[in-house]
Homo-oligomer: A and B are copies of this chain.
């Protein structure tokens, strides 16, 4: 039996929620605006049972909401909740990393358009407090109980 990593870490909890790579393809389609089962299936290439299973899991996790959009015959659409929308930056960073560090000759990099400025863009992370870039070496992941005392000093 494979031992599970502890869910006391928020990084692990997020990865656990995502679960597998099919979910990422489903999220990618949802982020592109697809809402119908047929469209999600076409775009992900997932078999019906795989797509149904992953959508069910995402609904249970409150990442996706399933609502009827047509009565006769009854048809449903799948929409991202606020929880689901919160996964957008995760997907963008996975995309950025894959484009940059795992290129494949037979696949062009995925492209992101910032419609606000009209340019093709790459996501970069900035500090919520000073707006400067968040770069490894200038950022420290602290133990949670360090929050009240980030410098490790007493006032």
Contacts and interface: CB of A to CB of B under 8 A. Distances in A.
Contact of A150 (B89, B95, B109, B120): B120
A112 B100 CA distance: 25
Interface residues of A, number: 89
Interface string A101-145: 110101111111111111111111111111010101011111111
Contact of A11 (B9, B94, B127): B94
A136 B28 contact: no
A127 to B, nearest CB: 4
Contacts of A106: 8
- Identify whether the interface residues of A are mostly helix, strand, loop, or mixed: mixed
B93 A114 contact: no
Copies in the complex: 2
A52 interface: no
A98 B94 CA distance: 16
A21 interface: yes
A65 interface: no
14 contacts: A3-B50, A4-B21, A8-B104, A10-B102, A14-B98, A32-B140, A86-B100, A89-B96, A89-B123, A92-B134, A112-B141, A114-B132, A119-B150, A126-B126
Given A4-B21, A117-B129, 15 more contacts: A5-B21, A10-B94, A11-B28, A14-B97, A14-B98, A16-B21, A31-B136, A85-B136, A90-B97, A109-B144, A111-B143, A111-B144, A112-B134, A113-B142, A116-B130
